[in-house]
Each structure stands twice: as C-alpha cells, then as structure tokens.
Structure 1
Amino acid sequence: LPVAEPVEYVRICDAFGTGFFYIPGTDTCLQISGRVRVESHYVDDGFGSDDDDGGGNNDDDDDGSSDNDFIDREFNNWTTRARANIRLDARTQTDFGLIRAFFNIQVTEGPSDFATSYSSSLDLSAAFITIANDWGTYTAGHTSSFFDFFGSNTFGTRVGIDDSTVDTTLFAWTFAGGNGFSGTISVEDPLSSGRRINPSTNFFDLNAEPDDLSVGALDNYEGQEAPDLVANIRVDQGWGSAQIMGMVGQIHDKQGFDDRRLERDDAPDIFFRGEGDEDGDALRWAVGAGLNANLPFFGLGFNSQVSYSEGAVGYVSGDPISRGYFGGLNSGDFIGPDADETLTTAWSARAGISGDFTETWGFLIDGSYTEIDTHSDRINGRRRVVGGEGARENVGVEIDGLDYDMWGVVGTVTYTPVSGLLFGWEVGYNRLDIDEQDGENTAELLGTDDDQDVIGAMFRVQRDF
C-alpha cells in the first residue's frame, strides 16, 4: 500500500534560541512563553521611631507610641498577590533587516495596603517593534526607557528599594559603534510611564481673614506639549556593561496664583486660591550612570546606578513614600506658583549583588539611598482646613516642601529545584527621614513623625514556561 509522506506541521526555528518555531506558511519564527507567580507578604512597623510621643494615627501600642504613623488598624499587614503573564515574540529575517515584534500581557490581583477587597488589573506590560540592520536598530513601542540601566534584583512587591525604572512608549534609534559600544537617541512619552509627578500638597491664601474658610489648590502640570528626549552611550563586553545617560523635558505649568473671594451673608467668606492664567513653563532634566560587573567567583554579579535630576523626580526615584505605609505623601517635580523657580532636585544611588550558593540555591541583595529637596517656601502640607479660628491656625503656616531622605535594603534567598520553577524568601527594610525646614518641624505640620521605618517579609512561588 502507498504510504503518505509525513507532514511537518510545526518546524523548529533554531536561529534565535530555544522555543521558537516557524509560523506555518511563513518565514517568521514565533516563541510563546509565560509565567505564573503567587506571593504572600507581611508588612509592619520597623525597629522604632525617634518620636515616641504618641503623635500620628497609629493606636496599636498601649503606650500610644508609634513606629510608623500610617500602619494602623485599617492597614492590611498580610496580603497576597497572583500574577500571570503571556508573551509572544515574533522575528523575521528580511532584506530590510531583522524585524521583531514582542508583547507581554500581564494580569494581576492584589495586593492593597488599605482596601477591603482586591481588584484585578490587566496591563500591557510591553509591546514594541524593532528593526535591526546596517544603519542601526530602530525601536518603536512600549518598553524599558533608554535612561534606565539598573532597577533592582530583588522582588520588592510591598517593601523594596527605591527602583525608578519604568516601561514607557518611545521611538528610538540605536547605533552600534563596534567593540561593544553603542549610542541611543530616544523620544519618550512621560504620560505613558508616570514620569510627570504632581505634588500632593495644597497652597492656601495666607492673607485670608481669621474667620474665613480658605480653600487651597494644587499647582499641577498642565497638558503635555512635548515629549522627553533621552540619550545614552553604552558599552557591553565580557567583563560586564556600563552606561551614561541624560534626559531633557518640558514642564508645562501656569504662573502665579489667582485668588478669589466668595462673600456670604450668613456664613464666613470663602477664599479660593487657584493657579494663575499666564504660562509658567520650565525645563526639566536628569543625568545618570550605571555599571554592571561579572565577578569571577560564585557566579557573582554587581549592578548599580546613580542619578540626579531637577524637575524630573520620576527619572531618579520611584517615589517610595507614596506607598500606603508612608501615608501616600509625595514630592512633585515642582512645588510652587512658578515652576522654573521651584524645581525639585533629587539624587539617588542603588546597587545590587546576586550570586549562587549551589546550582539550585542563590541569593540577591539590593540597597538604595534617595534624597529629595523641594525648594519651596509656601506649602501647607496635608493640614485639613476648617472654618472659624481653626482655619486660620491651619492655613497660616509657611514651611518648605516635603524634603526627605529615604534608604532601603532587601535580601532574598532563592531555590530553583528544576528549570523554570522558583521559590523565594525575602526580607526588606525602609527608613524615611523628613527634614526640618527653617526651624519648623515639617513632619509635625503634616501630622506625622519626622522619622519612620517599616519592615516586610514575603514568599514567592514562580513557574516560567
């Protein structure tokens, strides 16, 4: 009897590594991969505060003292998180060059610091196209910013170091100069990455009458008019890699304040303070450098990045104090009626070490330090405004903005019994110090302690396929 030739429904494509196959009827190689991750976390007060007078809103201690004002009975100490990722990677070698399309869809449930129930989120974690040929590599899509070099090695789901790395939508061109050297120019959209940070602080009219009700207003970004421009020079060789980078962007803002009074016959007048009508744009910028070194023993790797910015906090800091356990406070890119005169300056340094104890046991250690200076002198923090004499007491305060320094350290032990399966145990610690300004205790005016800390532990199970 005649025997039919076997039909090869799926052909393996080994040109780009493991897991690729040819899409039937095409020259395109496709890889399908994914991940499922499940975690458990516990977060609590740290090792103590310099202020033990019972200030703040934490009433858990019998003596009224508090290590962290924002970890109270409403705070979710124990939480979980479940996350799933699906990734598609398609590559085609053409006469125009190697064309690649990649996307990563991520679904997450939990955690939350205060919510009574978790919510699920669907995110487009990455989606980009690259074209690589003799002229360089062109990248368009949502992917890692070309300013970023190193973020963190550890998990850091709830308590981590200050990791400012983000994914952003960009258009970039990379030129390879030979011997591992390259340079990139990138046009990036800060709206897609959250790197336009507004202040969380109200401005009030300090000239309101004592019996008036004064209503404050935030001085925020106006609409976006231009992208951020990012450039880097990088080297990748056998010993590791290094990079220097910079960015420049626009702050589109209003200038000055516009005060209005609403007069009422049978109630106190209301003073409204809002942004002015004139444009008050400013230039924001950031610079940085990073180093990665492959050490010749125990599989050790060292990673680091230092950054400095004026008016571009998001390129330097992941805004760690905006997390619930530090009260959701933040310092914006500018804090004041004239953005060009009140740009926030920030600098940070972070580093990490990774290594292997054995073929299946490994460790990760990360640390970071961040310093923020808001350069503002007419901010009333988060004081609540009420009518009558109390209003005058609350709004009639002139202090600098929320200046602080924060450091964190995280350690992780991992166990990988087989390829694609990971168990991880982690402990993290954060310390926040709010600076005193011009003799005024900024933290006291904000209703919190000037020094706070928090400690957390977590467990992770992860399956990659």
Structure 2
Amino acid sequence: MRISTLLLSSAALLAGATAGLAADLPSKKAAPVEYVRVCSQFGAGFFYIPGSDTCLKVSGRVRADYYYNQPLVRADNTTTTRARGYLALDSYTATDMGPVRATTRVYVTKDSLAGASTTLDWAYIQFAGVTAGRIATSFFEFAPFGGVSFLGGGANGRGSDYGAINTLAYTYAANGFSATLAMEDGTERRTGLNGLGSASLGYAGHALPDVVGRLEYGGSWGVAALTAAVHQTRYALASDNTDYGFAIQGGLKINLPMLAAGDALFLQAAYADGASSYTGWASGAAKNGAGAALFTASDYEKNAAGNWVSVKTWSLVGGVEHYWVPTISTALFAGYGHYDGADASDWSMFSVGANVKWTPVKNLLLAAETTYQRAVDTPVAVAAGTQKDIWNARLRVQRDF
C-alpha cells in the first residue's frame, strides 16, 4: 500500500512538471495560407492581389510582321520584318464612389536594321468618368474602323486610329449614349509650318492643349459618333501672332448580321481647317525610296504675299468586313483625301486595300493585307526617288494571352 501511494504521488508530480514545462515552451502555429481568388466582377482573367481588395489582370501579345515594300532604287529594302512583344496590366479597385481603374501597356519592337525600342502604348487612370494619362487612341478618332485594316487603310494611308496621346477627359455615359470633353496634348498634333516642321524654325512654345469633344451612341445595330477639336498654332515670331484651327468628324458602324455574324459596314468623314493631322495628313503623302515624301503637310502655310494661310483638308474612308465562317473574314476598304494649301499647293490622295484574317484557334491570328495608294492632282513634279503611287503588303502572325 505504501509503495502504491508513493508511485501515484510520483506520477502526479511528473505529470504536473511536464504540463508546466510544455506551458513554458514557445508555441508555433502554421501561418494562414493566402489563396489567389478569382475576381469575376470586372471580367475574365482578373484575380485579387493577395492581401488587398484590388483586382488585377495580366495579359500580353506577341506579333510578327513580314512586309513587302515597293522599291524605287536598288538600295531600297524590298522586304522587311518586325517582331513586337506586348505586356499589359489592368487593375480595378471597388470603392463607395465606383471602381478605380489603372491600366498600362508597353511593347518592345525590333525592326529590320534597327535596334530594339520600347514604347508606352498607354498608361491611364479612370475614376467617376475621369480619364487621366496616355490613352491608346485620341477621343477624336472613330476607333471601330481600326478593326477593318491593320495596315491603316484610308486617305493618306490613314485608318481611324491616330495613336496614343496624353489626355485629361471626362465622359458621361448612360443607356448606350456617351459624351466626352477632353484636353489632349497639342504638341503631338503639330504637322509643320510652311514645310518647316521644326519647333526651332516654325513654332513657339506650347500654350494651350487641344480641346476635343465626342458624342457617341451605340446599340445592337452599330455605333454612331460625332467628334470635334480645336487646335492652337503659335508661331516662333511674335509678330506672326497665334492662330486657331479646328476639325470635325462623323463616323458610322452598321452591323450586318443578316449577312453573317460579325459583318459590318464602316463609314467616316472628316474636315479640318488649320489642324491637318485630324484628317490624316500629318505624315506627308505617298513616299518611298530613301523615305522622301512627295510633299510635307502643314497646319498653316505662307502664301506669296507672306501671310499665313490655314490649310484646309478633308478625307472620306469606308470599309466592309465579311465573315465567311466564324474564324475567317475578309475586309475591303478605300479612302480619299484632299489637301488645300496656300496658293497652288493642292493635293489629293486615294487608297484601296483588302485583307484576309484567319483565327484557327482562340487568340491566334494569321492575316495578310495589301494596300495601293496614289497621289493625284499634284501641283509639282515628282522628285527623284519618289513616285505618285505605291504598293504595300504585310503578313501577320499574332498571339494574345
């Protein structure tokens, strides 16, 4: 009995000591696992950034282009190539005042006989109708036409997409209708002064941004848009004062589902007075050889009397796209533009083109396109190394992810 009592007492003491020792040891608990959660409220591909309430989408594109360029002299490259890689980040954060969006895309390009270059495609913030930053396409442009021609068909080789531009804009949208008022960087819209085209020779410092307005209405039938812009030109000499040009454009996309799903007709017309880039005349006319142009576009030109005269330009562009099957489409497009400068410096241009696009699997594009462009009603003789018409063609392989 005495031995049993002693054993029980020893066991109790040992158990208590062990419990006390365990209480003194540090406790290690497994850290909670932070799983990536899908964020579906802003579209496919978004996920919550771990530890935040921001939804992020990572996407990209790889593109390979193979060009045919009509040569004029033996030194010209008849064929050239391009490789380009894109990386895009798109984010949304839900707030009590609506979502805040921040998005950016950059791409790196390697052309034939050129070093690799990096370009900011866009980088902007959107919140409560405000857009601030660099957008992919000016609010003046009628973007749907860009879906027809990836070479940029239209008068003077122009599609509807001017390209990326810095802006500060407000958009009101409701029931398919939207109205936008924007301030855009006017320095990127300069085309030249009397052929000078240099800030040191022709332009004074930039003072006011371009003011751009846009009205758009869309539905199942298509999209209609009316846009306008005011563009300031300040001359280097104070005695030349300052001029203000303007531009107006109308665009229409009509869906044609009675022919095939995805079919559409695109039409647009633009007129500018002292703002030539808004009608596609920013880069001269047909050019080849060593890159020489038939002429240099301007916003204003000096006449024989030495006075600045606004250049008046207009362009008409149209195209139609037809889907033979859901994965194969063909587009036909054409454009005509006129340039009315000082004295007798009037030019007209027309272009036509066609393409075929095949999507064998989702997000993989194989395409071919050719365009023909010709200058007509030219007031001067064609310089050596240039000609009034030119052919271009391109093969494209593109993968989006």
Place the TM-score, normalised by the shorter chain, in its bin. Answer: 0.7 to 0.9
Q: Give matches, 1:296-311, under 5 Å.
A: 296=257, 297-299=259-261, 300-311=263-274
Cα distance in 2 between the residues matched to 1:303 and 1:103: 29
Tell me whether 1:119 sits opposite 2:119 in the alignment. no
- Report the residue type matching 1:242 in the other structure: A
Of the two, which has the highest radius of gyration? 2
Aligned residue in 2 for 1:138 = 130
Contact 1:162 1:370 in 2 (8 A): no
How far did 1:448 drift? 7.5
Q: Give matches, 1:132-211, under 5 Å.
A: 132=128, 137-143=129-135, 144-150=137-143, 151-152=145-146, 153-156=148-151, 161-163=157-159, 165-176=162-173, 178-191=174-187, 194-199=188-193, 201=195
Q: How many residue pairs are counted as aligned between the two chains?
A: 361
Contact 1:253 1:339 in 2 (8 A): no
Contact 2:39 2:55 in 1 (8 A): yes
Aligned residue in 1 for 2:9 = none
- By percentage of residues, which structure has more helix? 2
Secondary structure of 2:301's match?
coil
Aligned residue in 1 for 2:230 = 248
- Report the residue type matching 2:296 in the other structure: N
How far did 1:360 drift? 2.0
Contact 1:40 1:458 in 2 (8 A): yes
Structure 1, residues 333-379: CA drift from partner, whole Å, max 9, x if none?
A: 111279984111100111222221112211222221111111x24xx
Aligned residue in 2 for 1:408 = 351
Contact 1:282 1:339 in 2 (8 A): no
How far did 1:16 drift? 1.4
Aligned residue in 1 for 2:395 = 459
Contact 2:101 2:127 in 1 (8 A): yes
Q: Give matches, 1:266-415, under 5 Å.
A: 276=237, 278-296=239-257, 297-299=259-261, 300-319=263-282, 321=284, 324-325=287-288, 327-328=292-293, 329-336=295-302, 341-374=308-341, 376-377=342-343, 400-401=344-345, 403-415=346-358
358-367 or 82-91, which deviates more: 358-367
The higher-RCO structure (CA 8 Å, 6+ apart) is: 1
- Report the residue type matching 1:422 in the other structure: L
**TM-score, length-normalised on structure 2?**
0.83
Cα distance in 2 between the residues matched to 1:413 and 1:320: 27
Q: Structure 1 stretches (4+) deviating beyond 3 angstroms?
A: 4-8, 157-161, 199-203, 318-324, 337-341, 446-449
Structure 1, residues 224-281: CA drift from partner, whole Å, max 9, x if none?
A: 1110111111112111111111111211014xxxxxxxxxxxxxxxxxxxxx552421
How far did 1:410 drift? 1.7
In structure 2, do the counterparts of structure 1 residues 458 and 95 end up closer, same or farther at CA, with 3 Å as the change threshold?
Answer: same
In structure 2, do the counterparts of structure 1 residues 423 and 131 end up closer, same or farther at CA, with 3 Å as the change threshold?
Answer: same
How far did 1:15 drift? 0.7
How far did 1:219 drift? 5.8
1:222 to 178, 186, 204: 204
Structure 1, residues 180-215: CA drift from partner, whole Å, max 9, x if none?
A: 222111011122xx3111147369xxxxxxxxxxxx
Structure 1, residues 124-166: CA drift from partner, whole Å, max 9, x if none?
A: 010000013xxxx111111121111135322217998322522
Secondary structure of 1:81's match?
strand
How far did 1:99 drift? 0.6
Contact 1:161 1:367 in 2 (8 A): no
